[in-house]
């Protein structure tokens, strides 16, 4: 099984199609194994790197780059970025803003066999949630002193599927007003209501 060699797989170089194929296969193995699914929901061990960085990265490079480039994920190291295009030395940074307490409560509830409802008053709480994400993104942006002019930034956000039409367009327009000093910046929404990891993603370039 691939998940038994997850750490090794994260460190290899891939073309975009191969990276996505490996990523999809790992997702399938997680979903078919209750013990691994429980650990993945709680982001234990290498699942944190895989789900928050490698998975969004694999979806991103498959859609943006030609298949003759080589991608190396380095997010587990201290390079100051998460992946590199080997041929051009362009860097890729993945920002995955989330409410850690909320995500843990959701994962714990699902692992115990319950359905976790994240919001009460839907419209009001979704707006608050996007406000919270905006605050995190701006704070992270402000705290980074590194030069990112040769870096592709992916802001990867996990959201429940039914909220796609509610607030995401307003959030995108809000992010377009933020000045990111990067080569390109993308917002990538992952819709994953029950954390089954078979998520659908939408990609928007904001600069």
Can you give the residue ranges of every domain in the chain? 2-205
Residue 162 has what pLDDT?
52
The angle formed by the CA atoms of residues 22, 25 and 28, to the nearest 5 degrees, is 155
Residue 177 has what pLDDT?
85
Q: What is the pLDDT of residues 68-93, one digit of tens each?
A: 999 999 988 777 899 999 999 999 99
Q: Are 197 and 31 in contact (CB under 8 A)?
A: yes
Residue 106 has what pLDDT?
54
Residues in the chain predicted with pLDDT less than 50, given as ranges, are 104, 109-110, 113-122, 161, 194
Residue 101 has what pLDDT?
54
Which of 122, 127, 193 shows the shortest CA–CA distance to 160?
193
Which of 97, 72, 96, 84 shows the shortest CA–CA distance to 183?
84
CB atoms within 10 A of CB 51: 24
For 125: left if phi > 0, alpha if psi spans -120 to 50, otherwise beta; the answer is: alpha
Q: What is the pLDDT of residues 36-80, one digit of tens each?
A: 888 888 888 999 899 889 999 999 999 999 999 999 999 887 778
Residue 143 has what pLDDT?
63
Which of 78, 35, 72 shows the shortest CA–CA distance to 54?
72
- Pairwise CA distance, residues 37 & 44, whole Å: 10
Residue 192 has what pLDDT?
60
- Pairwise CA distance, residues 199 & 160, whole Å: 10
Burial code (b: 16+ CB inside 10 Å, e: under 16) for 85-119 equals beeeebbbbbbbbbeeeebeebbebbbeeeebebe
Alpha helices (H) along 33-156: 34-41, 47-49, 55-64, 100-111, 122-143
Residue 160 has what pLDDT?
56
pTM: 0.81
Residue 79 has what pLDDT?
79
**Rounded to 10 degrees, what is the CA torsion of 44, 100, 51, 177?**
-160
Residue 205 has what pLDDT?
93
């Amino acid at each position: 099984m691939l998940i038994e060699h997850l750490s090794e797989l994260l460190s290899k170089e891939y073309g975009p199609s191969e990276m996505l194929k490996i990523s999809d296969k790992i997702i399938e193995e997680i979903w078919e194994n209750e013990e691994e699914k429980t650990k993945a929901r709680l982001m234990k061990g290498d699942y944190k790197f895989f789900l928050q960085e490698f998975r969004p990265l694999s979806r991103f490079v498959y859609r943006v780059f030609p298949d003759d480039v080589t991608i190396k994920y380095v997010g587990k190291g201290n390079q100051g970025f998460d992946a590199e295009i080997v041929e051009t030395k362009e860097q890729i940074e993945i920002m995955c803003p989330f409410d850690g307490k909320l995500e843990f409560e959701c994962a714990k509830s699902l692992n115990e066999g319950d359905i976790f409802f994240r919001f009460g008053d839907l419209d009001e709480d979704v707006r608050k949630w996007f406000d919270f994400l905006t605050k995190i993104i701006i704070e992270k942006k402000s705290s980074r002193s590194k030069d990112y002019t040769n870096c592709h930034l992916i802001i990867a956000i996990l959201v429940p599927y039914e909220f796609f039409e509610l607030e995401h367009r307003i959030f995108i327009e809000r992010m377009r007003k933020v000045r990111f000093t990067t080569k390109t910046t993308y917002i990538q929404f992952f819709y994953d209501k029950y954390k089954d990891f078979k998520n659908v993603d939408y990609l928007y370039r904001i600069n």
